[in-house]
């Protein structure tokens, strides 16, 4: 099994045994530079890890200390729109679980449907809408595939992230993230439909990882860095360049929230 093989590769390269992991979204890779005693393992060295093909995504597993807490950071993810496989992150998440990770914080770049949550802000995902028509557990034979998602986003971690944001005087609104398959951006009509359906932000990732992580029994939280107002809201065309340019702005806020959140965890002795 690839997760066990990967576990021994990882355990040979670092003595750290992180219980908390993060996945970094588009343009958020600068975050890894703040990790101390970092050991970097290219995805190519690990079985089943994605070959990341999206510019702005690195493709490395970084294990080190952040605010005194051991963390495993996946810098770069596979997206459903790359090969049409919504379960492409499954081996990576199973590997994290095999090395002892029990909590996962996912990050992404997203378009906002709320003018009060403009580009550069950060949104805490409280719930999601799967609008892709796909699911990473299709084909999973065990009954565990019928995973409950009523509290997919862990209330305790969410509360701790909100407290960390407040401590930094950063607005952190909580909202609903709607997963579109991409890679084309949404149309203005799709955004109007998304608003009617209850979405606050839209994006092309994260939801399949949330479903897989809950399937594996990991506790999950997710944060969106808002890079743009959604299609049709400003008259301007959307672009991946804008996502990459704007992600570091909100990314700096995100990094402060995470650093303070982890300090709290370190003090809790976790
Ligand atoms: N739509 C979908 N994905 C995105 C967007 C968007 O507007 N912005 C960043 N990722």
The pTM (predicted TM-score) of the whole model is: 0.96
Helix (H) or strand (E) holding 204: none
Residue 260 to residue 237: CA distance in whole angstroms? 36
> Whose C-alpha lies nearest to ligand 1, atom 10?
110
Reading the chain (270 residues) residue by residue, the pLDDT tens digits are 699 999 999 999 999 999 999 999 877 877 788 899 999 999 999 999 998 665 656 799 999 999 999 999 999 899 999 999 999 999 999 999 999 999 999 999 999 999 999 999 999 999 999 999 999 999 999 999 999 999 999 999 999 999 999 999 999 999 999 999 999 999 999 999 999 999 999 999 999 999 999 999 999 999 999 999 999 999 889 888 888 888 889 999 999 999 999 998 876 655
Q: Which residues line ligand 1 (CB under 6 A)?
A: 109-111, 180, 185-186, 202-204, 227-228, 230, 238, 243
Residue 195 to residue 249: CA distance in whole angstroms? 25
Atom of ligand 1 nearest to the CA of 186: 1
Atom of ligand 1 nearest to the CA of 204: 3
Q: Helix, strand or coil for residue 4?
A: helix
> Whose C-alpha lies nearest to ligand 1, atom 7?
111
The residue behind tokens 């950060």 is: 122
Atom of ligand 1 nearest to the CA of 230: 7
Q: Does residue 177 contact residue 113 with C-beta atoms inside 8 Å?
A: no
Please enumerate in sequence order all residues whose Cβ is within 8 A of that of 267, keeping only pairs 6 or more positions apart, or say none: none
| The two three-digit tokens of residue 253, written as one number | 């806020």
> Whose C-alpha lies nearest to ligand 1, atom 2?
203
**How would you class 91 by CB atoms within 10 Å of its CB: exposed for 0-12, middle for 13-18, buried for 19 or more?**
buried
Q: Helix, strand or coil for residue 58?
A: coil
């Amino acid at each position: 099994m690839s997760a066990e093989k990967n576990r021994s590769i990882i355990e040979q390269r670092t003595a750290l045994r992180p219980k908390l992991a993060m996945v970094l979204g588009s343009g958020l890779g600068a975050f890894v530079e703040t990790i101390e005693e970092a050991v970097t393992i290219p995805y190519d060295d690990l079985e089943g890890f994605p070959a990341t093909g999206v510019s702005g995504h690195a493709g490395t597993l970084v294990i080190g200390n952040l605010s005194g807490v051991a963390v495993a950071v996946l810098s770069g993810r596979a997206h459903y729109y790359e090969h049409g496989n919504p379960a492409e992150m499954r081996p990576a998440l199973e590997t994290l679980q095999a090395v002892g990770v029990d909590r996962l914080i996912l990050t992404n770049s997203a378009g906002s449907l709320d003018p009060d949550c403009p580009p550069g802000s950060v949104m805490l995902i409280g719930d999601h809408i799967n609008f892709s028509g796909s699911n990473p557990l299709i084909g999973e034979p065990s009954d565990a595939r019928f995973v409950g998602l009523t509290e997919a986003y862990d209330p305790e971690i969410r509360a701790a992230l909100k407290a960390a944001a407040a401590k930094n005087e950063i607005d952190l609104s909580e909202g609903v993230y709607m997963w579109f398959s991409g890679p084309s951006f949404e149309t203005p009509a799709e955004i109007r439909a998304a608003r009617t359906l209850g979405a606050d932000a839209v994006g092309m990732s994260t939801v399949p990882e949330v479903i897989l992580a809950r399937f594996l029994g990991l506790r999950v939280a997710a944060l969106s860095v808002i890079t743009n107002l959604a299609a049709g809201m400003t008259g301007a065309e959307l672009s991946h360049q804008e996502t990459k340019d704007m992600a570091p702005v909100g990314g700096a806020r995100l990094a402060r929230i995470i650093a303070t959140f982890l300090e709290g965890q370190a003090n809790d002795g976790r």
